[in-house]
Amino acid sequence: MSATDTVSKEINIAKSFFFIQDFFSWIVTKVPFTLQHNLEKYLTIKKAFYLTALENLQGDYYEFGVFTGSSFVCAMRSHNAFKHLGNTTTDFYGFDSFKGFGNVQDGDKHWFYRDSIFEINEKKVLNFIRKKSGKNKVKIIKGFFDKTLKNKTCKELTKNKARIIFIDCDMKAPAALALDYTKPALQQGTIMILDDFFSYYGNKNKGLAGAFFDFCKKNKNIEFRELCRYGAGGIAYIVSDVK
């Protein structure tokens, strides 16, 4: 049977059995989208660790916007799963206020990004990460980025190169601080994952997209290629060249 005949047969089945399509449509719509987004995000983190392990890319993991700690833990698990591929050594650094957004600039205001939604029990998150860290070297820096990223201790952390950077701080101002902070650590092969890239009605000048495009304009010596997209507007880039 040719490929055309096979496809034709499948279409005829679909035309005859509406309940099959209806069943799968029902299943898809019943899955909470937050769960779907997070699953695709975890798969993207896993992909990033797999690809960098294949390249034997040495460097650390930086996460901006730890929130519940689930992505951070996924990163550590992914690293452990692919250690055998590239013998990579990676330390893990997380940054979060655990108190929401603090002072929000006018251009960053969004009905959904509110302290009441994103404030979380800091102690609970830190205990969760600690229990799951195993032998991985972990450091969580607590506080708002405009304060923490400027101190001497934090600046020391970017002396090593970055393997993967995950930015999930929703707004342009903190994302811009995270990008500028990690600039010295970027190398060819660094993978940068940006969550909620298409927020603010897809405006290229706002949110994480605005911060990323501004960063690219200021740093033309750093070239990025799109790697993949995931969930509700997440995107990943890879540093293809640093001139």
Question: Domain-by-domain residue ranges, the chain?
Answer: 1-30, 32-242
The sign of the CA dihedral 20, 22, 25, 27 is negative
At residue 153, the pLDDT reads 82
User: Per-residue pLDDT tens for 199-214?
Assistant: 999 999 999 999 999 9
Q: Which CATH architecture has domain 32-242?
A: 3-Layer(aba) Sandwich (3.40)
Return all residues near 38 (Cβ < 8 A) that are at least 6 apart: 70, 231
Q: What is the 3-state secondary structure (H, E, C) of the chain?
A: CCHHHHHHHHHHHHHHCHHHHHHHHHHHHHCCHHHHHHHHHHHHHHHHHHHHHHCCCCCEEEEECCCCCHHHHHHHHHHHHCHHHHCCCCCEEEEECCECCCCCCHHHCCCCCCHHHHECCHHHHHHHHHHHCCCCCEEEEECCHHHHCCCHHHHHHCCCCEEEEEECCCCHHHHHHHHHHHHHHCCCCCEEEECCCCCHHHCCCCHHHHHHHHHHHHCCCEEEEEEEEECCCEEEEEEEEEC
Residues of the chain with pLDDT under 50: none
At residue 228, the pLDDT reads 97
At residue 84, the pLDDT reads 86
